Amino acid sequence: MTYDHIAFHYTNDFPDDLAQENAVHHIGFYFAWAVSQGLHNPEWAQATPDFAKLQKGELSGPEFVVAHMGGELSENDFNELGNRFTRFYYEDEEEGYGLFIEDYFNALGLESEDDFYRTEDTPENQAKLSRVFQIGFDTWLSRLK
């Protein structure tokens, strides 16, 4: 199952003046947070030396997703708990991005799809999003008990 893919974004209303890699920023921010919480597939640790760089913050999530994941976020990228949360967080009957996209827009103060694609790959944006992803995860976990 694919949760998100770069091609889902740059084929529609993607701004002409941006590099296609901008369409993966949100995916990378989410995956980097998931890795920081141990929600990733453990096979990633052996798949590439860059995984250790991602864990240390020496390589950004968007950079990693472009270089090693083909711009895709799928069930193969997570462990069982990571998949359960990601399915919940992305679930939406209409668009498929659920609470994830709502939290993303709110955390960064975005107002439009254009703003969404213009979000820069910075440690500051990663930190803002990691906080909100963590709140979403903690809230979800508390409801399981």
pLDDT over threshold 90, residue 50: yes
pLDDT tens, residue by residue, 57-104: 999 999 999 999 999 999 999 999 999 999 999 987 666 578 999 999
Q: What is the pLDDT of residue 94?
A: 66
The reported pTM is 0.95
pLDDT tens, residue by residue, 17-48: 999 999 999 999 999 999 999 999 999 999 99
pLDDT over threshold 80, residue 145: no
Q: What is the pLDDT of residue 13?
A: 79
pLDDT tens, residue by residue, 94-135: 665 789 999 999 999 999 999 999 999 999 999 999 999 999
Three-state secondary structure of 53-73:
HHHHCCCCHHHHHHHHCCCEE
Q: What is the pLDDT of residue 93?
A: 60
Task: Tell me the HSE value of 101 on the side-chain side, using a 13 A CA sphere.
Answer: 16
- Spatial separation of the C-alpha atoms in residues 137 and 35, rounded to whole Å: 13
Q: What is the pLDDT of residue 105?
A: 96
